Amino acid sequence: MMRIFLFLATNVAIMAAISIIFNVLGLGSVLDAQGVDLNLNALLVMSAVIGMTGSVISLAMSKWSAKQAMGVQVITQAQNQTERWLLDTVANQARLAGIGMPEVGIFQAPEANAFATGMNKNSALVAVSTGLLESMNADEVEAVIGHEITHVANGDMVTMALMQGVVNTFVYFFATIIGHVVDRVILQNERGQGMGYYITQIAAQIVLGFLASMLVMWFSRYREFKADAGGAKLAGRDKMINALRALQRGQEAQDLPGHLAAFGINGGGMTRLLMSHPPLQERIAALQNQH
């Protein structure tokens, strides 16, 4: 809860600073002179409401949507030795990490993968694929679980959701300004918001959203190194390195659904700038260079 409060407080301060900068630079007067009648402070607040609402709702629904999207079968009572071992391993690592016992689940997928999600680090979900259990030994699976437990303990789900909300805020804010400028200044529309505004605003959101996603993915890659280090601390560095090497030997993982992609043990992207995870060799090298 404190993490959410501090993050929101920081963002309010950022929004206030941007508002002051706009006033000092006279951006509002410049837009007025061009016939673009916008209350930038009101637009900034509205953009924050629009940008943050979707991220908060997505975070609140993350466990439910993950179970539905991935077909996760939550282990309520162990039915075999593997399930008992999973529950015990997660319980032990959660205790070491200082978090509440997460729900533990298994989902059907031939590729080795796992993810963690949830709005609260004391009420999270950790799920592993059947492919992971079949292709890795117990030490490697233990390291993967440690990686996911570290995501939970670090509050990565909350941080990523709030960061996405801030990005969405400024994408909508600047796309709206661009839409108005094109509509009023270039297309010379003086009768209110014309079709040019809506087309331009949508196009600007797509372009700015694409650029902003690079920042989000950079932060996601940074978090992966932290989660690997946490997995090494909980399970052992050699086990974590061997788990990453096992991922290298295995099948290329299919992308997890959007809001889960950043929290899997394995993942990629079309280009380096859009990768949610660093290359496995870089992650292995980072662990090997730890002292």
Which one of the listed residues 103, 140, 142, 148 is annotated catalytic? Answer: 148
Q: At what angle do helices 2-25 and 40-60 cross, to 10 degrees?
A: 160
How many helices (H) and strands (E) the chain has is answered by: 11, 4
- Spatial distance between the Cα atoms of 198 and 176, rounded to a whole number of angstroms: 9
Tokens of 14: 């950022």
**b/e 181-220 (16+ beta carbons within 10 angstroms → b):** bbbbeeeebeeeebebbeebbeebbeebeeebbeebbebb
Q: How many residues does the chain have?
A: 291
Residue 140 catalytic?
A: no
- Spatial distance between the Cα atoms of 169 and 14, rounded to a whole number of angstroms: 12
Sign of the torsion angle spanned by Cα atoms 51, 53, 55, 56: positive
**b/e 70-91 (16+ beta carbons within 10 angstroms → b):** bebeebeeeeeeebeebbebbe
Whole-number Cα distances in Å, 209 to 131, 174, 183, 204, 271: 34, 11, 21, 8, 16
254: left (phi over 0), alpha (psi -120 to 50) or beta: beta
Q: What are the residue numbers of the active site?
A: 148
